[in-house]
């Protein structure tokens, strides 16, 4: 029985995560279109729902070109890394009581570690392409990750202090008395911003920056390798949304509906929020991004950590 659950749950999570990532391609194109007064893809199947399938078929049959000037093994490995790291990070997310792949007691650290490893994919992809635009994209990605990783870690520490645990399940249980986004408001805002930067989405898509760097780190990629970068990005959005829900919005907690439904609804809302940000925000300049991170967000995260710690000590 336990073995069976041990097989079904990971496979189910893997399947749903990959399906959601595919569906997001459709969702994002539709929503962006609506916010730009268009319809978006609505021809393939009902409401264009089969669009991801058409896209996938197209990507599969495109020429899978490895540039002769590239560093071949690394070039091929890079897109795989991003998908593996984000999918692995899903292992610690508790979707509902009992529905989690591994109940790690350092789950949060595991998530942080995996999301930092993900940047290797971008940096190595940019490096191995052996082209100036790709390299610039990779450089930007590494600098962006370095700076935003710092206060992403610091911002979640407030939650850890309040819950007294790194285990994501325990963190959700600790929110029965009240979701953490109210006491940890600044922590939440910073985590969302850092999460955006982590997934390299607009307004933080400087590593990609179509209008400046052709396509940034994946300029030289084509076919399904390019597709993997995209799948990685979409799973990344789902992952960060799930993390925001877990850490600040009570995870599966909620009245009436079953826990898994609550978790799905909340995650879905945050995914739509990410897409809305993409529709509404311009891309900052590179130096603006850096100074914003180090001069504004880092001090706020520090202050948040200090004040939370002080208040908790006083309460004890």
Residues that bind other proteins (CB under 8 A): 34-39, 276-277, 279-281
Give me the DSSP letters along 248-295.
HS-TT--SSS-HHHHHHHHHHHHHHHHHHHHHH-PPPPHHHHHHIIII
Q: How far is the CB of 211 from other proteins (least distance, A)?
A: 19
Q: How far is the CB of 43 from other proteins (least distance, A)?
A: 10
How many residues in total does the chain contain? Answer: 316
By beta-carbon proximity to other proteins, the closer residue of 73 and 282 is: 282
Q: Is the dihedral of CA 196, 280, 83, 130 positive or negative?
A: negative
Under a CB-based contact definition with an 8 Å cutoff, are residues 200 and 234 in contact? no
By beta-carbon proximity to other proteins, the closer residue of 129 and 155 is: 155
Q: How far is the CB of 276 from other proteins (least distance, A)?
A: 6
Q: How far is the CB of 270 from other proteins (least distance, A)?
A: 14
By beta-carbon proximity to other proteins, the closer residue of 156 and 193 is: 193
Q: Which residues contact 174 (CB under 8 A, 6 or more apart)?
A: 162, 163, 164, 165, 180
Q: How far is the CB of 273 from other proteins (least distance, A)?
A: 9
By beta-carbon proximity to other proteins, the closer residue of 279 and 312 is: 279
By beta-carbon proximity to other proteins, the closer residue of 193 and 239 is: 193
Burial class (CB in 10 A: 0-12, 13-18, 19+), 138: buried
By beta-carbon proximity to other proteins, the closer residue of 37 and 287 is: 37
Number of neighbours of residue 64 by Cβ within 10 angstroms: 14
Q: How far is the CB of 78 from other proteins (least distance, A)?
A: 33
Phi, psi at 132, each rounded to 5° = -65, -35
């Amino acid at each position: 029985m336990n073995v069976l659950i041990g097989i079904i749950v990971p496979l189910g999570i893997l399947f749903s995560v990959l399906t959601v990532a595919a569906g997001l391609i459709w969702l994002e194109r539709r929503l962006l279109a609506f916010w730009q007064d268009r319809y978006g893809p609505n021809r393939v199947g009902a409401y264009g729902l089969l669009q991801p399938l058409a896209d996938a078929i197209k990507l599969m049959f495109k020429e899978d070109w490895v540039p002769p000037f590239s560093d071949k093994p690394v070039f091929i490995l890079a897109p795989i890394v991003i998908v593996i790291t984000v999918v692995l990070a899903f292992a610690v997310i508790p979707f509902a009581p009992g529905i989690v792949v591994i109940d790690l007691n350092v789950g949060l650290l595991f998530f942080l570690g995996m999301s930092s490893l993900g940047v290797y994919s971008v940096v190595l992809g940019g490096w191995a392409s052996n082209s100036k635009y790709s390299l610039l994209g990779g450089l930007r990605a590494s600098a962006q990750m370095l700076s935003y990783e710092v206060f992403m870690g610091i911002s979640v520490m407030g939650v850890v202090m309040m819950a007294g645990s790194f285990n994501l399940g325990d963190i959700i249980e600790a929110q029965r008395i009240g979701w953490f986004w109210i006491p940890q408001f600044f922590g939440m805002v910073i985590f969302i911003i850092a999460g955006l930067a982590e997934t390299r989405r607009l307004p933080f898509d400087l590593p990609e920056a179509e209008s400046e760097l052709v396509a940034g780190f994946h300029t030289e990629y084509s076919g399904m390798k390019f597709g993997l970068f995209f799948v990685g990005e979409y799973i990344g959005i789902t992952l960060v949304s799930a993390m925001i829900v877990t850490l600040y919005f009570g995870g599966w907690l909620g009245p009436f509906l079953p826990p898994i439904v609550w978790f799905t609804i909340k995650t879905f809302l945050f995914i739509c929020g990410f897409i809305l940000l993409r529709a509404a925000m311009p891309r900052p300049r590179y130096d603006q991004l850096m100074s914003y991170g180090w001069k504004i967000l880092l001090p706020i995260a520090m202050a948040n950590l200090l004040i939370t710690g002080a208040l908790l000590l006083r309460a004890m």
